[in-house]
């Protein structure tokens, strides 16, 4: 092994807003002191209860990905395991996510975009 994943960084228009969205979805602490990252304007972190750290970086003139547009590809996505796919869909939509692809009803996953346009999948455990 060469390295360990420390965090996943998401570019966005509003770092605080997106960190709160993912905190509502995953739990954890926004902007927990951590010597690995300096916090400030345009930067936020989320330390999840499971140990994963997400970081959010404000980018001027942020242009979100458009799934499945190859001219503005997804760039990355998160797969998030859930027990009840229908209930989880209701919850993320209430939080501000957008449904991108519900599938045919037979798949074990659905594709969404967070409020900044980044795709993520809810996957049935």
Please tell me the predicted confidence (pLDDT) of residue 12.
93
10-67: per-residue pLDDT in tens?
Answer: 999 999 999 999 999 999 999 999 887 777 889 999 999 988 899 999 999 998 888 8
Q: Is 107 exposed, middle or buried (0-12, 13-18, 19+ CB in 10 A)?
A: middle
Q: Which CATH number applies to 8-58: 1.10.357, 3.40.30, 3.30.720, 1.10.760? A: 3.30.720
Q: Domains of the chain: which residue ranges?
A: 8-58, 78-124
Q: Where are the beta strands (DSSP E) in the chain?
A: 8-12, 29-30, 43-47, 53-58, 78-82, 98-101, 109-113, 119-124
Q: What is the pLDDT of residue 106?
A: 80
Global pTM value: 0.81
Task: Give the whole-angstrom CA distance, residue 95 versus residue 90.
Answer: 9
Domain 78-124 in CATH 3.10.180.10: yes
Phi, psi (deg, nearest 5) at residue 22: -70, -30
**pLDDT above 90 for 3:** no
| pLDDT tens digits along 89-118 | 999 999 999 999 998 878 888 999 999 999
pLDDT at 32: 94
């Amino acid at each position: 092994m060469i390295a360990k994943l420390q965090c996943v960084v998401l570019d966005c228009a509003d770092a605080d807003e997106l960190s709160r969205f993912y905190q509502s979805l995953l739990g954890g602490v926004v902007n927990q002191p951590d010597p690995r990252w300096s916090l400030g304007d345009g930067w936020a972190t989320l330390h999840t209860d499971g140990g994963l750290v997400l970081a959010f970086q404000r980018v001027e003139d942020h242009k979100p990905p458009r799934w499945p547009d190859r001219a503005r590809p997804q760039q990355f996505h998160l797969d998030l395991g859930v027990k009840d796919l229908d209930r989880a869909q209701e919850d993320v939509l209430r939080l501000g996510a957008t449904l991108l692809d519900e599938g045919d009803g037979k798949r074990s996953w659905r594709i969404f975009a967070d409020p900044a346009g980044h795709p993520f999948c809810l996957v049935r455990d």
